[in-house]
Structure formats: C-alpha cells, structure tokens
Amino acid sequence: MITKDKAIEVIKSLPEEFSIEELMDGLILLNKIETGLRQAERGESFTTDQAKKMVKTSH
C-alpha cells in the first residue's frame, strides 16, 4: 500500500498538464517499487546469482 504523501510526490513530478495514463503509470511504478521493497524486507527476494540459476534451469 502506498501513502498519500508518496502519491502526491508522483503528481508533483508530472508536468503541469498530463494525461490520466501518465498519472496511472507513475502510481503503478510507485506501487511496484513499494511492493518490491516490502518483499525484500521479508526476505522474499533473490540474489542475481540465484535468479540466473533459476533462469538456466527453466530452459
């Protein structure tokens, strides 16, 4: 979940005039970043080496 303050930061980073799509893209990116940070805090992430091994074994 994102905070209102972070959503406002996204809006402030946009140009004076913007489309709804640009706003949504910014909010979606923020949400994905926040989700990734929470997953990393819970240890639900992989090192680069682990990810490379998973990709090799899936082919």
| pLDDT tens digit sequence for 45-58 | 999 999 999 999 88
User: Which is nearest to 33 in space by CA: 8, 2, 12?
Assistant: 2
Give the sign of the dihedral formed by CA 53, CA 37, CA 6, CA 13: negative
Domains contained in the chain, number: 1
Q: Is the pLDDT of residue 59 over 80?
A: no
pLDDT per position as a tens digit, 1-37: 899 999 999 999 999 999 999 999 999 999 999 999 9
Whose structure tokens read 């910014």?
26
Domain of residue 53, residue span: 4-58
Q: Are 41 and 35 in contact (CB under 8 A)?
A: no
Question: Cα dist. 11→8, 19, 28 in Å?
Answer: 5, 11, 12
Count, residues in the chain: 59
